[in-house]
Amino acid sequence: MGERYESAKAIYAKFGIDTDAAIETLKKVPVAVHCWQADDVTGFDNDGPLTGGIQTTGDYPGKATNPDQMFEDLDKAFSLMPGLKKVNVHASYAIFEEDGFVDRDKLEPRHFKRWVEFAKKHGIGLDFNPTFFSHPMMKDGLTLSSPDKEVRDFWINHGKACIRISQYFAEETGIPCVMNIWTGDGFKDVPGDRMGPRMRYKESIEEILSEPYDFNKVKPCVESKVFGIGAEAYTVGSAEFTLSMAAMHKDKCMPLMDNGHYHPTEVVSDKIPALLCFFPELALHVTRGIRWDSDHVLILDDETKEIAQEIVRNDALGRVYIALDYFDASINRISALVTGFRSMQKALLNALCTPNAYFKELQDTNQMSRKMVAMEDAKMLPLGDVWAEYCEQCGVPACGYYDDIEKYEKDVLLKR
């Protein structure tokens, strides 16, 4: 334990904060790392373009183009991340090596065996996502809400297959699997019927959720969105739609909020405590939108800090499933994975080292001026020294990790 940590610990203690306890708590909070940052959301099951209203920009060299490279990159990224991970897998990352290709409606647990092996090697859990995009059965921009029954049935069967795979993940790892339902279904221009697609979407999701699963192990959730690229006028799975969906099926699914998916002045940090009043559990995609749902790499910005604060100060670390969701193809992808994960961890550590009980007391006794001053003072506490101690205990560098990534780029990525 360094001198700087000793001194920081004493400073925090004056504010009633036990930094050792904060470090121990943080070590147990899982944050799901999204595999799709490693290959620009390409996946292993198709050669087509990325569709569904999302886009990656940039052509930085060295992206993972097969399972071996994916696992190699995730191993490298993990070696620079302190704390507890999960891996978030999309159905498009099925691995067919042994038995040949099957379409998404026919996927089976065996197609994800290597993901389970990877998780077991690291002693971590897996999250899962049906992939309702980058596929020819997305017809006229629609999947589960299509007016064509054949299209809907294909995607319903995909959703059901994904429930079975999620159950397999949970059983194999012993850790619950969050399974997120997101579709880019929507229209570029003003629709002539807004409710029809939503009724079909509702019925399709209900059918997917009729597949048997243990809700203690499989945690389906529904993610909302305000708009997508090419679907600017209307999104079927809007905020009100998905929230109502989750509320009506509280015994078998949860809401998922992606902080890139709201109007620019709305903040997910404020929505977390609102939902915690009603939902036992909820899920997040933490990202960084710039002007719109741009999925930039997470950094330690104000909203990331505030999201972490709302989880911690409401004692909800056990009720909120935290996952990352961004994709930047213009920079080194290992640096994107590592930096985003570390930013979330820093935000959580910051929250755990904040005198929130004191702020609450000041608010409840209407000492608002003192609260403002105290909150500003807290921003100057020596968090960096606590972070350095945490990283040391986790066996990763506290900063300056890019040299290591650059070496990996030279030795591995640029040789691909």
Interacting residues with ligand RNT (CB under 6 A): 36, 41, 54, 129, 182, 223, 225, 258, 285, 293, 325
Q: State in angstroms the smallest separation of the CB of 303 from ligand RNT.
A: 16
Task: Find which of ligand RNT, Zn ion, none residue 41 binds, CB within 5 to 8 Å per kind.
Answer: ligand RNT
Which sign does the torsion angle of CA 380, 383, 388, 389 carry?
A: positive
Please tell me the count of residues contacting Zn ion according to CB under 5 A: 3
* Near Zn ion by CB under 5 A: residue from 63, 271, 285, 346: 285
What is the helix (H) or strand (E) element at residue 128, kind and residue range?
A: strand 125-129
**Catalytic one of 182, 328, 346, 389:** 182
Is 258 a catalytic site residue?
yes
Closer CB to ligand RNT, residue 245 or residue 378?
Answer: 245
Among Zn ion, ligand RNT, none, residue 114 binds (CB under 5-8 Å by kind): none
Contacts of 146 (CB under 8 A, 6+ apart): 139, 140, 152, 155, 185, 200
Distances (CA, A) of 219 to 177, 182, 249: 6, 14, 12
- Pick 41 or 142: Cβ nearer ligand RNT: 41
- Burial of residue 23 (CB within 10 Å: 0-12, 13-18, 19+) is buried
Query: Least distance from C-beta 73 to ligand RNT, angstroms?
Result: 17
Please indicate whether residue 295 is annotated as part of the active site: yes
Please report how close the Cβ of residue 385 comes to ligand RNT at its closest, in angstroms: 35
Determine, following the binding rule CB under 5 A, whether residue 295 of this chain makes contact with Zn ion: no
CA distance 372 to 71: 46
Which residue in the set 45, 258, 385, 389 belongs to the binding site for Zn ion (CB under 5 A)? 258
293, 306, 310, 385: the active-site residue? 293
Nearer to Zn ion, 285 or 333 (CB): 285
Shortest separation between residue 296's beta carbon and ligand RNT, angstroms: 12
- Residues 222 and 220: their CA atoms lie apart, in Å, by 7
Q: Which does 202 bind (CB under 5 to 8 A by kind): Zn ion, ligand RNT, none?
A: none
- The smaller minimum CB distance to ligand RNT, of residues 26 and 33, is found at 33
Residue 90 in contact with Zn ion, rule: CB under 5 A: no
Q: For residues 285 and 261, what is the distance between their CA atoms, to the nearest angstrom?
A: 10
| C-alpha atoms less than 13 angstroms from C-alpha of 140 in its C-beta half-sphere | 10
User: In the bound complex, what is the minimum distance in angstroms from residue 268's beta carbon to Zn ion?
Assistant: 11
Residue 139 CB burial class (10 angstroms; 0-12, 13-18, ≥19): middle
The verdict on whether 270 is a catalytic residue reads no
Window 122-141: residues binding Zn ion (CB under 5 A): none
Q: What is the sign of the dihedral through the CA atoms of 142, 143, 144 and 149?
A: positive
User: Which candidate in 261, 271, 305, 346 is catalytic?
Assistant: 261
Annotated catalytic residue, options 85, 225, 271, 305: 225
Q: Are 161 and 107 in contact (CB under 8 A)?
A: yes
Positions of E strands within 173-319: 177-181, 186-187, 218-223, 234-235, 254-258, 282-286, 288-290, 292-296
Least distance from C-beta 65 to ligand RNT, angstroms? 18
Shortest CB 146 distance to Zn ion, Å = 21
CA separation for the pair 220, 242 (Å, rounded): 12
Task: State which residue, 255 or 355, has the beta carbon closest to ligand RNT.
Answer: 255
> Rounded CA gap, 50 and 58, in Å?
13
319: left (phi over 0), alpha (psi -120 to 50) or beta: alpha
Question: Which member of 127, 295, 385, 409 is catalytic?
Answer: 295
Q: Which of 90, 158, 219, 285 is catalytic?
A: 285
Q: How far apart are the first and last CA of the chain?
A: 41
> Of the listed 39, 127, 258, 281, which one is catalytic?
258
Confirm whether 225 is a catalytic residue: yes
One symbol per residue from 298 to 327: x for binding Zn ion (CB under 5 A), - otherwise; what is it?
A: ---------------------------x--
Backbone φ, ψ for residue 174 (5° rounding): 75, 15
- CB atoms under 10 Å from CB of 67, counted, come to 17
- Active site annotation includes 411: no
Q: Is 325 a catalytic residue?
A: yes
As annotated, the active-site residues are: 182, 223, 225, 258, 261, 285, 293, 295, 325
Binding residues vs Zn ion (CB under 5 A): 258, 285, 325
